[in-house]
Structure 1
Amino acid sequence: MILSFAPPRSQCLGPSSSSSSSSVAAADPRRRLPSTRASLNRERRAPKHRPQSASSASPSSPAAAAAAASSSLSYGRRRRRRPQNVDGDFFVDTTCIDCDTCRWMAPQIFMRVDEMSAVFKQPANEEERLKALQALISCPTSSIHTEKPAPDVLVAHETFPIPIDEQKLPGVYHCGYHSEKSYGASSYLIVRAEGNILIDSPRYTERLARKIEMLGGAHSMFLTHKDDVADHKKWRERLGCDRILHSEDGSVCLLYKPLEVIFTGDHLIMTPTGLSIVERYNRCSVTAQLNSVEKLVDLDFRWIVPGHGRRIEFKSSLEKDLVLKEFVQQKSSQFAYI
């Protein structure tokens, strides 16, 4: 359904327990389960034990010292540099959860190799190095490193939130600082006179909170679905923003009419191979979800900004309609007998 959003120039799509106005059913009835995949990846790849700190270990206990050394060695082995990386300063370690963040933030540097990310080319100029550092900062599992300390990483921190396109989407920012709690989902900020909107939750950091405050803070936090809420409580406490959420399963989308952009959460995303409804993690009706995607054809927008993956700009609403119709038709045929 289409629900009126508190600031009058925005709309949200989907179910809500706090609103009674509705006209068209357009909710995503499925719920993707990235947390399940992330937990499986973490169980397989992430360290089960962190190195014991000096303050907690007993210096008089040889057993404790041995245990700490063993734990540290085990952690170091799991954090080792992947051999799939090219030689050079930047590299991805073996704790990568294959969330794709670095690959769309810095496609000139990172690519997918053997179900994880890897550096396939070292930065060749300042612009590429900045993008690599931004990806390093945004990696939800801190799996990207440099062989030598990078003093310019502080400069990269100061670039967040990053404007998406200052000419075509003025006032729309990518927050970065992706969270492992949301399997590396993207969070965005819309800066507007009526009150800024924070879409889904980035990883909480005081540095990012100060930068968001410099842009006017956040009047509202729009949570598209339960998997991408991450540190929403901390952001609520820090920014004092109202949280807009729904009680039912599925995702909701935020349509921001002034810029013809829709934020789709996990309802519809863009992968390297094209549009996706991430049906692999769908526990509900794929048909109902495709019916929901089809309803987007009736809305006026030219940008899709998803919770995961690449952003899409269409040349016109007509092109958007044709692409979505073709996608729905293709997927409907694929799942007709499932």
Structure 2
Amino acid sequence: MKTAVMADIKKRLETNVAGNFFVDATCINCDTCRQLAPKSFQEVGEFSAVTHQPEGETEHRQAYRALLACPVGSIGTERSDKAHLQAAMASFPLHLEGGVYYCGFNSEKSFGGNSYVIRHPAGNWLIDSPRYLKRLVQAFENMGGIRYVFLTHEDDVADSARYAKEFGATRIIHRADAHAAPGAEWVVEGGEAVEVSAQFRIIPVPGHTEGSMALLYGDRFLFSGDHLWWDRGSKGLGAPERLVWDQQRLLGSLAKLLSYRFEWVLPGHGDRIRLSADEMAEHLRRLVARRVPAPILSFDGEENK
């Protein structure tokens, strides 16, 4: 697989503004760069492009993070700044809040899906999988290893088997998607939530795939896979409308989440967001109201008679 430093200046897209950073024609439009450096990268046509060359320390750090995280190495520079590059490299996994980190180094195998790690005294959790890199293995070792690898659904398993083998970790996946992780040590059955401990709850949310699941940590962090995300365009929560296994089941799963409180939505694809629990609940209610016809489903997911 191509590394993140091999973008080809000969394939530089014409949609890039002039300057040091550029996106080449191998871009898969996965949105990773636009999440990490929204001031510099935007969607132009069918690809991402540099629409603003980074200025200042913060924007340069964000742009180099995007370069490193790009799953197909489509971001390049005419002149590399080693200090900024090394600082961006050292920042991954990127701490978000409360012992929760974004891994970086997104994998092409999951179409650039985000992955996360939770640092916890009872054992660390890896949520979905980044690329398998010695840099991340060392970082996870420094954190105390990985006890669980939680797989939100079949699309984002990436190099999870290698990480599980490296750390002797338990992979968790739903029965309906278990074909994507042969030999997974913990296969979740059915549609009921599973309380792993007082702080960790597994919530089946079928819809995008039959075996989609979310992980709720500390009643604050919802790792939602490809089930729920923040839409920067509408400035509200979004959910898939295509590439959906069962639209009605998806709508019921969205309604199910109204029973829970959380402040963060941490998706595989789409923007992550932190709001107050009340604000998050209101945005979720709005999404459900838009997507769930009142005569079909109530907020608890049961059919209205």
* Normalised-by-shorter TM-score class: 0.7 to 0.9
2:92 equivalent in structure 1: 160
For the pair 1:279 / 2:251, whether they are aligned, the reply is no
1:190 equivalent in structure 2: 118
CA distance in 2, matches of 1:327, 1:113: 27
1:262 equivalent in structure 2: 222
| Secondary structure of the structure 2 residue equivalent to 1:279 | coil
**Contact in 1 for aligned 2:231/2:237 (Cα 8 Å):** yes
**Contact in 2 for aligned 1:270/1:308 (Cα 8 Å):** no
**Amino acid paired to 1:263:** F
For the pair 1:329 / 2:289, whether they are aligned, the reply is yes
CA distance in 2, matches of 1:306, 1:224: 10
After superposition, the CA RMSD in angstroms is 2.2
For the pair 1:215 / 2:143, whether they are aligned, the reply is yes
- Moved segments of 4+, more than 6 Å: none
With the length of structure 1 as denominator, give the TM-score of the two structures.
Answer: 0.72
**Offset from partner CA, 1:258-284 (integer Å, 9 cap, x none):** x61111011112232342221211132
List alignment gaps of at least 5 residues for structure 2: 177-209, 297-305
Larger RCO of the pair (alpha carbons < 8 Å, separation 6+): 1
CA distance in 1, matches of 2:88, 2:284: 36
CA drift of 1:130 comes to: 0.9
**Amino acid paired to 1:245:** I
**Contact in 1 for aligned 2:237/2:283 (Cα 8 Å):** no
**Amino acid paired to 2:171:** R
**Offset from partner CA, 1:135-173 (integer Å, 9 cap, x none):** 100001100000123313223211110001xxxx22110
2:56 equivalent in structure 1: 125
**Contact in 2 for aligned 1:297/1:320 (Cα 8 Å):** no
**Amino acid paired to 2:19:** G
- 1:136-147 matched pairs, under 5 angstroms: 136-147=67-78
2:195 equivalent in structure 1: none
**Amino acid paired to 2:147:** H
**Contact in 2 for aligned 1:89/1:122 (Cα 8 Å):** yes
CA drift of 1:76 comes to: 6.0
* Identical-residue share of aligned pairs (%): 43
With the length of structure 2 as denominator, give the TM-score of the two structures.
Answer: 0.79
Count of residues in correspondence between the two structures: 256
Describe the shift of the 1:126–1:204 C-alpha distance in structure 2 as closer, same or farther (beyond 3 A). same
CA distance in 1, matches of 2:253, 2:8: 46
Structure whose CA Rg is larger: 1
CA distance in 2, matches of 1:170, 1:325: 26
